[in-house]
Chain A
Amino acid sequence: MFNALSKFGYRQIPSWAHPSHPIMRTVLGRSNRLKWSRRIFLWLILLLVTTAAIAAGYIIAGTTTENTEPTISEILYWPLVGAQTLAMILAIAMTTNAVNIERQKQTWDSLKLSLAGVGLTLRARWAAVFYRLSWLLFVITIGRLVYIGILLDDMTEFQGRALDLRISGITPSVSLDLTVIIISLHMTAFVIQPFVAVALAAAAGLVVSVFMRGRGVMILGLGLLIALRLLITVGSILLGNSVLENIGLGVKPELAEIANENTVDAWYRLILSSAEGDQMLKILNLDTLGQIWADIDYGIYLGAIMLIVVLVEAILANMLVIFAAWRASKPTND
């Protein structure tokens, strides 16, 4: 069953990203499959780390919650934000030295001589990030699916009419059918966002690897990129906190005030904090969504806009990889 699913999954990806592709095999460096004992050991470690992260999340949520006991969403929030940030930093670290590694292995020059060697190698290094971080992406996806489960459960309130109540009186008035479609788009953006964020971080690392030569410069570039990434994440979380309450408690009154004065400002805070600061974890619950829809005119379309933003990020990641491959394959003086 698992093998059949794996085979089906592999059929969906391009041949150069398949683990059996010669270049990908070289990049992954796994000529032999892992022994079962080692695999079980790694899964146990993952289970242990996940449990510790959830315990830490419980302690943090206990200090911030307004309920008698923290909710599941509150408990998972900081572990998921941490896991997502870690995934992006690891993705950057894994690709920033891509060219340097080939140079150290003294294969770079021969790759440049071949027709598509550089492009394929860089693409393979980019795709390898997903294989190497599959454990982390797996955990993040499970965590996000829990949020989706909670959202669906909330929708069954009032005998399944919870959405009817939330769209009452909003501008513009929309049908329930359209609301369901938009929620579906939002959920899709929510699930694929971690993958796209990793893809973008890895692609940025790849671009840096092409431009940075020498170990010292490369480490400097890596440090700068990680610092920039952390700055964007922290800034986006703070931006989100300016208009969002704790999970499940809706939005702050400031959102309506900001939206009244300058709608663009309100949109910018919601979109940037969602896209770069994981604030979709706070937004994708029915109470918060309902208040956003009411506070901002056309706020109902946030879900569709978030999917567009995530897809644009994915396209950007793809373009960065193509650019890095093109730049790396150009003849140089050395």
Chain B
Amino acid sequence: MWFLSKLTTSVLLFNAILLGGVFTYRNITPPYLEQTLVIDKACGMECWFGFIANGQTVRKDIRTAIEEAGAQPINTRGTNMRFIQYKNTSNQTLGTISVELENGYGINVCFFPTPSTVTIGDVYATFGAPDSFWVYYFRGRPNFEVLYEYDNAYVLARGDAKIDWFFSEKSQRVGFDLRINEICTLQESGLGDIRPLEYPSWRGFNVPILAYQADVYISDGLDPFSFQ
């Protein structure tokens, strides 16, 4: 028995050292999205590219901040919208950044990753457990949204959901690899034209669910509706 206890303790110690290595790596490596969006955690998780899109930063300061983060402007649409091409240090295009201006001040910032570069797992690894998650069917496509509520803004990520959630009787699990099409830091007005009357709470990746359904409000005057 003495030998067994020594064997068990040795193996346990060995495993603890291995796991210690993994968690040292975890603690010294910032999440992918934190690096991509140049999030300043001291300022807040909604503080991207060196500024908060809370309507208090002017166009010039926004442009300077984004350029300092390694991005270059590529196009301008009208007077209220600015699109900027983002490049990382190895000059690989990761996606585009859109800053929405109101009266010359930034109110919403969105990042549109190129396909497959960002998953819902990356969003969770960066921002932690969301306040809400819901799925909806819009213009013939199933979508999902994850929402984080912060003091100064919301962070909202949107992507393609699985069709099964709408038509399957069986419970589903939210996969780590669901692709994100767009992630934004927004004021309340930017939350979208179609949104739930009450946001369903996040229940975890692996927890089996029938669907994250919600009563939905559409801002163009249509009645609220719910769907199965």
Main secondary structure of the interface of B (DSSP, over half): helix
- Check if A195 is an interface residue, CB within 8 A of chain B: yes
Residue of B121, B128, B207 most packed against chain A (CB within 10 A): B207
Interface residue stretch chosen among B73-81, B155-163, B197-205? B197-205
- Check if A243 is an interface residue, CB within 8 A of chain B: no
Interface string of A212-226 (1 = CB under 8 A from B): 000000000000000
- Check if A291 is an interface residue, CB within 8 A of chain B: yes
A168, B12: Cβ atoms closer than 8 Å: no
A290, B4: Cβ atoms closer than 8 Å: no
Cα(A161)–Cα(B11), bound, Å: 24
Cα(A166)–Cα(B205), bound, Å: 7
B-chain residues with CB within 8 Å of residue A315 when the two chains form the complex = 1
Instruction: Kindly provide the distance from the CB of B16 to the nearest chain A CB, expressed in whole angstroms.
Output: 5
A158, B121: Cβ atoms closer than 8 Å: yes
A169, B202: Cβ atoms closer than 8 Å: yes
Q: How many residues of chain A get a CB closer than 8 Å to chain B's CBs? A: 40
Interface residue stretch chosen among A30-38, A102-110, A178-186, A271-279? A178-186
Interface string of B116-157 (1 = CB under 8 A from A): 000001101100110000000000000000000000000000
Choose among A160, A168, A253 the residue that contacts B26 (Cβ–Cβ < 8 A): A160
Choose among A156, A170, A184 the residue that contacts B15 (Cβ–Cβ < 8 A): A184
Chain A: which residue is nearest B18 at the CB level?
A: A152
A180 and B23 in contact, given A152-B18, A159-B32, A188-B12 (Cβ under 8 angstroms): yes
Interface residue stretch chosen among B38-46, B54-62, B169-177, B214-222? B169-177
Cα(A212)–Cα(B12), bound, Å: 39
Cα(A106)–Cα(B107), bound, Å: 95
A294, B19: Cβ atoms closer than 8 Å: no
B208, A253: Cβ atoms closer than 8 Å: yes
Cα(A185)–Cα(B13), bound, Å: 10
Interface residues of A in 182-205 (CB under 8 A from B): 183-185, 187-188, 191-192, 195
Instruction: Kindly provide the distance from the CB of B13 to the nearest chain A CB, expressed in whole angstroms.
Output: 9
B-chain residues with CB within 8 Å of residue A156 when the two chains form the complex = 22, 25-26
Main secondary structure of the interface of A (DSSP, over half): helix
Instruction: Kindly provide the distance from the CB of B19 to the nearest chain A CB, expressed in whole angstroms.
Output: 5
Q: How many residues of chain B get a CB closer than 8 Å to chain A's CBs? A: 40
Chain B: which residue is nearest A259 at the CB level?
A: B208
- Check if B227 is an interface residue, CB within 8 A of chain A: no
A160 and B207 in contact, given A165-B125, A184-B12, A318-B1 (Cβ under 8 angstroms): no
- Check if A295 is an interface residue, CB within 8 A of chain B: yes
Instruction: Kindly provide the distance from the CB of A299 to the nearest chain B CB, expressed in whole angstroms.
Output: 10
Chain A: which residue is nearest B176 at the CB level?
A: A165
- Check if A12 is an interface residue, CB within 8 A of chain B: yes
Chain A: which residue is nearest B21 at the CB level?
A: A152
A290, B205: Cβ atoms closer than 8 Å: yes
- Check if B7 is an interface residue, CB within 8 A of chain A: yes
Choose among A160, A169, A311 the residue that contacts B205 (Cβ–Cβ < 8 A): A169
- Check if A5 is an interface residue, CB within 8 A of chain B: no
Cα(A203)–Cα(B143), bound, Å: 59
- Check if A293 is an interface residue, CB within 8 A of chain B: yes
A-chain residues with CB within 8 Å of residue B125 when the two chains form the complex = 158-159, 161, 164-165
Chain B: which residue is nearest A169 at the CB level?
A: B204
- Check if A14 is an interface residue, CB within 8 A of chain B: yes
Cα(A295)–Cα(B205), bound, Å: 11
5 new A-B contacts at CB < 8 Å, known A152-B18, A158-B122, A294-B206: A12-B7, A158-B32, A170-B206, A291-B173, A314-B1
Q: What are 7 A-B residue pairs whose CB atoms fall within 8 Å in the complex? A: A156-B26, A159-B31, A168-B202, A169-B202, A187-B15, A295-B208, A311-B8
Taking Cβ atoms with an 8 Å cutoff, the residues of B that contact A are 1-4, 6-8, 11-12, 15-16, 18-19, 21-23, 25-27, 29-32, 121-122, 124-125, 128-129, 170-171, 173, 176, 202-208
Q: Which 5 A-B pairs have the closest CB atoms?
A: A169-B204, A160-B26, A294-B206, A158-B125, A161-B125
